[in-house]
Amino acid sequence: MDMVIKKIALLPGDGIGPEVCRQAVKVLDAVAERFGHRFEFTSHLVGACAIDATGNPLPDETLAACRASDAVLFGAIGDPKYDNDPTAKVRPEQGLLRMRKELGLFANIRPVTAYNALLKHSPLKSDRIEGTDLIIFRELTGGIYFGEKGRTADGVAYDNCTYSRFEIERIAHLAFQSAAGRRQHLTLVDKANVLETSRLWREVVRDIASQYPEVEVDYLFVDNAAMQIITNPKQFDVMLTENMFGDIISDEASVIAGSMGLLPSASVGAEVAVFEPIHGSYPQAKGKGIANPLAAILSAAMLLDHVGLPEEAALVREAVDEALTNQILTPELNATAPYTTEQVGSYVAFWIADSNEQQWNAHNIAVGVSTII
């Protein structure tokens, strides 16, 4: 295979973001070593650390670096000193919202997998969730979150929800393409019995469906979909929905995996894509070596898929499966004999670098004596 050179902007951010990003980079370095690629990383500020340094949660230099990169690996943003100060005019989350807007990140993609080794960690019954493997495509830049909002003189509050055909088409094509390469089943989640925007979503999806004849399409109202995700999630392959519904059902679906620390995501635009774990900054765990890096590592796998390296991405997921099977896990998933954030990352990286020797060296890697650090 020819050498692939990719520029990756690192935005470690706040809380445990730098710790889990460090492990994802370690894994990508192992991929580069094994396959003869080169990943060029540059690190930039975002979130609370950026406010502290520059007064701006998303400095222009960070934004420019994202635009100049092939992909962005993002950690987390958020800090208690802002969460606990309702008067703060500048907040870390403003950086994330601006990044989505400036980079045109219109599609949020969240895979949800029920790993056999972790079924017992989910609050749902194992027989309900076993075999679940779905992807949620959430529209990210339209809908009620971005519509006109305000209050009238007599105290009535309003939030307008608007969508254009173009906004729906661009994410629908991504979802159909994903379904075509998976189990060829797409479910549109809406509220077309009540909302005019949902009726437009159905019209557009029905029009586009003719371009993907191999994909079976069905439609669910969001209230029914919320129930079905809990009672029978394995029926779903690709789920497509608008911004607010996607926000809700993707968080609901996260309980299937048994840990927020296992859920990666991608936010995709026309030119740039950002890859990040969904777990947030978890400031209580900062610096303690207990943060689960697997969501960040799986986000790196999504990044590899995005830049055209599916074999490498598959190997990363295989290595994560090995870590899960062998219980090389941080405390929330292995309370009796836990490993540190760095030990988990080292185990995955070593397995990728030379999986043929894994059976001989797994113990040394697990206890953190690997030369891969």
60 is catalytic: no
14 is catalytic: no
145 is catalytic: yes
C-beta separation of 216 from 185 below 8 A:
yes
Which CATH number does the domain housing residue 1 bear? 3.40.718.10
169: in domain:
yes
Which strands form 5-13's sheet, in the order they lie side by side? 38-43, 5-13, 71-76, 273-277, 264-268, 107-113, 133-139, 238-241, 185-190, 216-221
Candidates 70, 163, 190, 191; catalytic one: 191
32: in domain:
yes
- Residues 28 and 159 occupy one common structural domain: no
- Residues 76 and 156 occupy one common structural domain: no
C-beta separation of 74 from 109 below 8 A:
no
| Last residue in a domain, options 211, 226, 258 | 258
- For residue 127, what are the contacts with CB-CB under 8 A and spacing of at least 6? none
- Residues 251 and 277 occupy one common structural domain: no
- pLDDT tens profile 144-163: 988 999 999 999 999 999 99
- pLDDT tens profile 190-219: 999 999 999 999 999 999 999 999 999 999
247 is catalytic: yes
The strand pairing partners of 308, in sequence order, are none
Position 164 pLDDT exceeds 60:
yes
- pLDDT tens profile 311-344: 999 999 999 999 999 999 999 999 999 999 999 9
- Residues 284 and 240 occupy one common structural domain: no
251 is catalytic: yes
Q: For 128, list phi and psi in degrees, rounded to 5.
A: -80, -35
- Residues 68 and 166 occupy one common structural domain: no
Per-residue pLDDT at 373: 46
Residues 99, 79: Cα–Cα separation, whole Å? 18
Position 248 pLDDT exceeds 60:
yes
Candidates 83, 133, 247, 321; catalytic one: 247
Question: How confident is the model over 281-299, as a mean pLDDT?
Answer: 95
238 lies in which domain range? 112-258
| Last residue in a domain, options 258, 283, 303 | 258
- Residues 240 and 282 occupy one common structural domain: no
